[in-house]
Amino acid sequence: MMTNPFVKIRRELHQIPELGFQEYKTQAYLLNYIQSLPQEKIEIKTWKTGIFVLIKGTNPTKTIGYRADIDGLPITEETGYEFSSIHNGRMHACGHDFHMSIALGVLTNVIHQPVKDNLLFIFQPAEEGPGGALPMLQSEIMREWKPDLVIGLHIAPDYPVGTIATREGLLFANTSELYIDFIGKGGHAAYPHQTNDMIVAACSLVTQLQSIISRNVDPLDSAVITVGKITGGTVQNIIAETARLEGTIRTLSVESMVKVKERIEALVKGVEVGYQCKTLIDYGAMYHQVFNHSGLTREFMEFVSEQDQATLVECREAMTGEDFGYMIKDIPGFMFWLGVDSSYGLHHSKLLPNEDAIEMGINLLTKYIQYKGN
């Protein structure tokens, strides 16, 4: 039986996933709830489809920031939920519905039980792309209300409910989108010598790209190049005049990201010569690594280890990308995994996170903010 009101909120938000900078219904829902709370000690400002909420402390010496991302993904949901997405081809498949409901729960608690320091809740759009953290960080509102430290969480399907996993230093990788277009000369399938076949060119490059990881990246470092989509051609008996590769790059170091891109560009130039074609490279959205502040993270880990209802795991770094990395590049802070125990992983159409994690997350973060802010 559903008793926690923030589970209900999660389910309502789950039904209205929207893509980056299109989160109009989501923003309206969040504002409606926030404006229903006592307004005496809070100030609300909107930024594009995002929201800043400042809660004034009783005797502030600093501002503690908490960030929750709000966008969904272009995925057709297959969970079977009664509260499945009503937006065709859109789904909260990365847990941002959880992130928002937990943030609202913590916000509600600290409005009714204010702490000494100021608190800034940041509801950030476009985490999945094209990236909302960096422009939000550069906004006039953030310059005015800039916190002294900032915290974020991400649900973790691989961990059971009650588990908090994090580490000092590198937690999530540097990431970049990758789009490569090939422009050649099409023609009849029976006369290949009169054409420049871009499907052949694109497929040749796909195999060459993997040599970057095996031969150009330090074996003690780590990197990934994944081509997730190939498009080209029109019908089976026409040689393709154009083709397109879409993929992602992940590296554990900034230096490796630079090296990988240099090698991609060199190989693409070789394809231009070898296949007599033109190419265009677009790196799309690029996210800075999530590098947790050592002192703040260690303090948080010690706090979690003392809680009866939480199990602390010191995890390894992951190739996951998160634009929260820009925030903690500029502001001391950290991110942690919140266990939700799902047999399906992030970005899967059947992601089924355990809703018990919502209450656990709210309680833990409320206690930590009260501890940190008093």
Segment 87-127, tens digit of pLDDT: 999 999 999 999 999 999 999 999 999 999 999 999 999 99
Residue 1 confidence class, pLDDT cut points 50, 70, 90: very low
- Burial class of 22 by CB neighbour count within 10 A (0 to 12, 13 to 18, 19+): middle
Residue 245 confidence class, pLDDT cut points 50, 70, 90: very high
- Provide, rounded to the nearest whole percent, the portion of the chain with pLDDT above 70: 99
Hey, where are the domains in the chain?
5-172+289-373, 174-286
Active site residue 221: no
The conformation of residue 127, written as its DSSP 8-state character, comes to T
Catalytic-labelled residue, pool 128, 181, 197, 359 = 128
- The CATH number given to 5-172+289-373 is 3.40.630.10
Catalytic-labelled residue, pool 18, 23, 69, 117 = 69
Three-state secondary-structure class, residue 143: helix
Find the mean pLDDT for residues 304-329. Answer: 96
Cα separation, 145 vs 65, whole angstroms = 9
Cα separation, 156 vs 8, whole angstroms = 21
Looking at every residue in the chain, the average pLDDT score rounds to 97
Cα separation, 288 vs 253, whole angstroms = 10
At residue 329, the pLDDT reads 96
Reply yes or no on whether the pLDDT at 3 is more than 80.
no
CATH architecture of 174-286: 2-Layer Sandwich (3.30)
Reply yes or no on whether the pLDDT at 144 is more than 60.
yes
Q: Quote the pTM value.
A: 0.93
Neighbouring C-alpha atoms within 13 Å toward the C-beta of 296: 21
At residue 2, the pLDDT reads 54
Reply yes or no on whether the pLDDT at 316 is more than 70.
yes
Find the mean pLDDT for residues 44-51. Answer: 98
Cα separation, 142 vs 121, whole angstroms = 11
Find the mean pLDDT for residues 69-79. Answer: 98
Active site residue 181: no
